[in-house]
Structure 1
Amino acid sequence: MPTETLFQRIAAPAPTVTIDFNGAPLQVPAQCSVAAALLASGVTRLRNSPVSGAPRAPYCMMGVCFECLMEIDGEPSRQSCLVTVREGMRVRTQDGARTLPLPPVQIDRAAEVEHG
């Protein structure tokens, strides 16, 4: 019966990139999602709950749960588990409710004329 673990961490150094995280430089693993890179770097709070303000972290890591919403390069409500990290990326934790794009308002001028 084997006594050693079957899974061992590979000791080869992984490539890294530097991102701007909440205004400070942070070296993170390259070639993975923003959420995975932050978790691997010890960051556990990516956003706050809009209801209670409790810290939230990624859950599903495949774009289903929306727990990993962050502001990435100035765009809020990005699912950080679906965005690949890259050198110089600006990432900020997101506080409060996510934003939803509103469709353009269509005004029916003919209906306004008919109804006064």
Structure 2
Amino acid sequence: MTILAALPELGLGAAAIPLVEDALRTNDARLVAAALGPYGAQRLDDHAFRQGVLKCVFMEIPLASIAGLDRRTDVEPTRMLSDFATERRAAGRPVPHDILERI
């Protein structure tokens, strides 16, 4: 278990946001997924959360692993996922099922 998974239990308020943002900049799927756990899903601003969701898509991290995705989804993430699906189709590549379910 990473420290990222424990953040909701530590009562840090927004103090750990820089740690979450650092994890989102990595190419380690475990860290990216953990960054979008309950703490990150609750505290990241909309832009950072949306970029994290898109990074999960590119890294093939299942969208089901993102805490609060249904609660935080609005027009912009849906558009981003739709654009991604369009690009994949144009390139003759498959679109992950969890993306198709959200667009």
Provide TM-score, normalisation by structure 2. 0.27
Larger proportion of helix: 2
Q: Which of the pair has more CA radius of gyration?
A: 1
The TM-score, its normalising length taken from structure 1, stands at 0.25
